[in-house]
Structures are given as C-alpha cells and as structure tokens.
Structure 1
C-alpha cells in the first residue's frame, strides 16, 4: 500500500512539471501565457497616457504661486524694524519734578535770594516757615575740659547718652533736645530717676522766622543749572522731593 502511494506521488509531480513547462500544450494542457502581448490587450485607452519631463513647464507653473507668498514675510521684519527705530531713538523726556530745601533762617534766606535771582523768573519761591524754639536738658558750664571729662565718665557709668551742647553753651553737655519746654522738663525728670542731679532745662534756640525754598517744576534744563547756581547758597541743605 505504501509503495502504491509513493508511485502515485511521483507520477503527480511528474505530471505537474510537464504541465508547468508546457510539455502538454499539444494536448491542450498548459498554463495561461502572461507575456507582453496579453498585457497590452488588457490596457484601457493607452492613447490617453502622456509622459512629462521632470522639472518641466508644468512643475514650474505649479511652483510659481509659492514665490510671492514666500517673499512677503521676508520683507515684514525690515518694515517693522524701520518703524520701531524712531521710537527707540527718541526716548520720552521725564516730567518736571517739584523740589524743596530748608528750613533757612533770615540770614541764609537773603543769600539764597541773591543766588536764585539768576534762575528763570517764576521757577522758585521762598515760602515763610517759622522756626520753632528748641529746649535742652543741659549740664554746665564746667570750669574746664577736665571737669567735662569727669562728668562724661559718670554719665557712661549710668549708661546715659550725651552730646555737645553747641558753641554758645561750651564747656558743657547736652542730655537731650526737645521742641517744647514741657517736653524738656519731663525728660529731665526721667534723668533724675536715673541718678542725674545737676542737669537743668535751658532754651537752646528761640522762635524765629524761617523760609523754605521751593522749585515747583524742575525740568532737565533747569536741573543742570541748580548745582552751579544754588549749591553754594544752600548752607549744606539738600534739595529733596516736595512733601
């Protein structure tokens, strides 16, 4: 039985080989021939086919609309840059500022008037501002500097701060300055509780007329003139923004 199966398999292989090679064409047994003539017969309207060269007129015409569109954005940065350059070149000027200095006493105000006369008319004013009196808790006058040094050592032991009282009250010591006599008396009472026994209240400065310099609209041009025109007459005071 096995031998019969082998014989049949060999015959089948031989028959397929003869069929596939066209050996049985004479008996009408052969595979369909797929040569070039049969393919030409299967084409549909081959006369309508055209071959165009690559990069020809058709390709050029299809790419042509992209030219203007791509060139437009390239010119945009140049236009915007040209428009922005005048704005950056001309920086806005700072608005005028109001400046003031003081308070000046009558003598200082006279010197200031003379110096400010060189400035444009209406650019400055001297406004009356009374100078209030000042009171001091004072120790002195001492007979000499040795007595002053001894009293300073005592105050350091009591941890009480002190200061120079000014030329009119030398040699002596200031233990505090106050805007009213009542405030100075309260300050002296506190110092007495800390062990100070020889201090007293004196008037350091009486009420006096005073003046405030005011420049309401200082622009860049006027600002350049202030240092040379007013600085010597400011008596060490500085110009500051108006309150």
Structure 2
C-alpha cells in the first residue's frame, strides 16, 4: 500500500514539473506567466511605469476640451454728450444722475463762452475825444441830455452811450424815441460777457444707461443729447 502511494506522489510531482516547464503544451486561460511573457513580441522593450505617468500619457492622447461658449456682452455707446448747462442747472442734472452710479464713465466739462448780457444804444466811436465832444454838443442842441462819452479801452472808445438795456426790445424803443428827436446816427448793439457753461460726457455706457440719461436730460428742455464732438 505504501509503495502505491509513493508511486502516485512520484507521478504527480513529475506531472507538475512537466507542466511548469511547458512540456505538456499550452492550455488557454491557464498559462504560466514567465512563459507567456517570453512569447510576447519586443519583450525587451516593455517597461513598467507608475500610475501618474500612465494618467499623463492618457491625458496627452485625449482630444482637447471644446472652447467655452463666449457670453454675449451688452452693447455699448462710444460717447454721449449732454449740455450746455448753466451752473445751477448743471448741479441739478448731476444730482439726478447720481442714482445711475456711472463712476468714471461720467465726466463733467467746463467751457467758457461769450453770451449777450445787455444791449446798448450808442453813437459809433469818433476819431478823437475832441470829435466826441463835438458830437455831444450836437446832442444837447437836440434836447438829448442823458448820455456820456465812452473813454475806456473797449471797441466803442470815443463813442457816445445813449442807454444800456437788458432786452433788445427796450433798446429799440429808446432808439425810436431818439430818432424822433432828430438823432440819426444812433445804433443798437449787443454787449457780451464771459460765461461758464457745463456739459457732460458719458463714455462706454450701455444702451440701457444711455436711454436713462436721455430720459433725465429731457427734463431740461433747453438741453440736447448728441454724440461727443471732436472739436471740443
């Protein structure tokens, strides 16, 4: 009995040795790993790499992600201009703009202008003071006494002023009365004074902001909205 068991063990060990060395052929799905590696092509070029390198290689071979879809930006107006305002109106307009919070997109500009301040009834300048005095004597002979000779450095020097009026209508009425007295050389002319005007510029604003600014400007009936002028 012991001899039989010993013979069986001997046969089993011989079979395991033959199988391990590949003498018994190939069995699908149950191959010995060293033998299988030896049968691979270019076995000498195989190289084990880390998981991090493997992920990097896969990422390099993957197609790039699609570009993000651009978001639509609100349309802007290059530059809007409103004015000219007198100083008191400019302050009122500016206060109403405060709720829009335009910051640097809103700019206040000042411009000096000449405006008519009054109207003068006068006799044009004479060649000299002596000539002006002679013209004054002629006025006295006609019964005109309310006048004075202009001797300052203005363009009307050596002219004769016959009255200064706030409106042109009042000046024309005075002229008509003088003509009836026989004064033929008198004229009406505007007098100018420097004034500071204010206008506002709005740059890079949205169409909605532009509409709101123009709505506020509409409350100031003498003002207009326009594109910014390059002449300023």
- TM-score class, shorter-chain normalisation, is 0.3 to 0.5
Q: Larger Cα Rg: Structure 1 or Structure 2?
A: 1
Q: Which has the higher helix share?
A: 1
TM-score by length of 2: 0.37
